[in-house]
Amino acid sequence: MKAIKDMTNAELAAFVQSQTRDRGIEVVLSGGACVSIYSDNRYVSKDLDLINTRLVPRKKIRNALQEIGFSESGRYFIHPDTEFFVEFPSGPLSVGSEPVTKIDEYELETGLLRIISPTDCVKDRLAGYYFWSDLQCLEQAALVANVKDIDLTEVEQWSKVENKYEEFIRIRDRLT
């Protein structure tokens, strides 16, 4: 097994997911780390957002991570051998008001990585842009959309449901 200090963000996420899964804790990678992974690190995030899909108590998560050398620091878990830190935002796993139903899986040397799809990653980033006017989130959505195959029709429909269709029309060309 690769040493934690040598793991990429995807490998570390898969490693942590394997540890938690072995203890009955299912988590899915979301947030900025997905942008990093899908963009081959054209955008860099040091935060691994692992959404707790079964609402397992934090104490159980803490115990699982302590077994592999992580310690709790506020809302994050840190490890002395990596610059990446892990967070477990509360679920449900969703983008805006829509539940995420499609989870991509990739077998890595360090374990199985469960991650939201590129299309849901774009929607997740657009949610930040739509609801908080975060231009960096728009740039991240465009970055993923320009390097990965996404379902733009699905993003358009989601934007309508979120009452952000006019904003979508204004930025659509950035996603193609």
Rounded to the nearest 5 degrees, what angle is found at the Cα of 46, between the Cα atoms of 142 and 138? 20
Residue 9 pLDDT level (bands cut at 50, 70, 90): very high
**Assigned token pair, 69:** 């050398």
| pLDDT score, position 55 | 85
| pLDDT score, position 91 | 84
Which of 124, 115, 107 is closest to 26 using CA atoms?
115
Distance of alpha carbon 168 from alpha carbon 163, whole angstroms: 10
Q: Where are the domains of the chain?
A: 4-116, 118-175
- CATH class given for the domain over 4-116: alpha beta
Do 148 and 104 meet the contact criterion of CB atoms below 8 Å apart? Answer: no
| pLDDT score, position 31 | 96
Q: Each residue of 21-57: pLDDT tens digit?
A: 999 999 999 999 999 999 999 999 999 999 999 889 9
Do 129 and 96 meet the contact criterion of CB atoms below 8 Å apart? Answer: no
| pLDDT score, position 22 | 96
- Taking residues 111-140, report their average pLDDT: 98
Q: What is the mean pLDDT of the chain?
A: 96
Q: Each residue of 52-101: pLDDT tens digit?
A: 998 899 999 999 999 999 999 999 999 999 999 999 998 889 999 999 98
